[in-house]
Amino acid sequence: MTTETIPVSDAVAAEALDTVAELLRGKQTVVLTGAGMSTDSGIPDYRGKGAPVRTPMNFQTFVGDERARKRYWAGSHLGWHRFRAAEPNLGHRSLARLEQHGAISGVITQNVDGLHTRAGSRHVVDLHGSMDLVVCLACGQAFGRDSVAARLEAANPFLESSDSVRVAPDGDAEVTDVDAFVIPACTVCGGMLKPNVVFFGELVPTVKFTEATALVAGAEALVIAGSSLVVNSGIRLLEQARRRKLPIVVINRGFTKGDGRALIKLEAGTSETLAGLAVRLVG
């Protein structure tokens, strides 16, 4: 199969959108989204142009290194304030509108910001979890992020959010002075708490991947928006669609690992592209 790459610079060309809309019209379509989906909401991409070089927290370091865990919790708290302030963008709202009109069957997202749900999408599979929950690694108890944040602020009055803090797509932020930081503990068993997101080195929860697989299995087309497909979970879903010979459309600025396996690749931003598709597919 030869991929048709359609370059788009400042705005999405009408001809390109017409081509994709015609391909998707009448088909049960599922959408897989990545960090590029939320850049227009002020949440940065790991790998996009200008993204800082950083090493995200991995699970082994989090559970095995107390100072690293302190640094993560301090940074994650600051990042949480920024995540809460972010608003769904035109792309999120367009996907919600497409779902409401039956043009897509659901969204699978690699993002942890919760913006798809806040935009109104109902069938969302959060592959990598969500920042609005915290879980205990010992007993499994789940807590709302707001309640944990309140405890954290009470125990660490010196830690204040800052508009200048650099936040990453996983909700972490760069903080270095953490020696005096007090890590919150589970109020049920005293165990170690962790934001309900998949760290590097962790596997996507089986139940989440099963939900995502079921969506793709029932689909007649796959759209990948704002993901470079570097993470294995996205590639596995793409391969599932490819093996079934589904038409695959990739919308992303820059190279993705799915480019050679897509029927159409749009070199464009997700917000304007998805908005243009919504106009064509649901009016």
In DSSP notation, 116-132 reads: HHHHT-SSEEETTEEEE
CB 20 within 8 A of CB 249: yes
* pLDDT band of 176, cuts 50, 70, 90: low
pLDDT score, position 175: 53
177 in Cβ contact with 168 (< 8 Å)? no
Q: Which domain holds residue 123?
A: 4-282
Range from 53-57, 94-98, 151-155 that averages highest in pLDDT: 94-98
Residue matched to tokens 């205990």: 136
CATH of the domain at 209: 3.40.50.1220
Q: What is the DSSP letter of 181?
A: P
Let me know if 81 is a catalytic residue. Answer: no
Q: pTM for this structure?
A: 0.86
Contacts of 246 (CB under 8 A, 6+ apart): 219, 220, 221, 222
> Residue 133: helix, strand or coil by DSSP?
strand
54 has a pLDDT exceeding 80: no
Amino acid at 18: D
* Structural domains counted in the chain: 1
Catalytic residue among 77, 92, 116, 128: 128
Return the ∠ at Cα 34 (arms to 245 and 105), rounded to 5°.
55
78 — pLDDT class (breaks 50, 70, 90)? confident
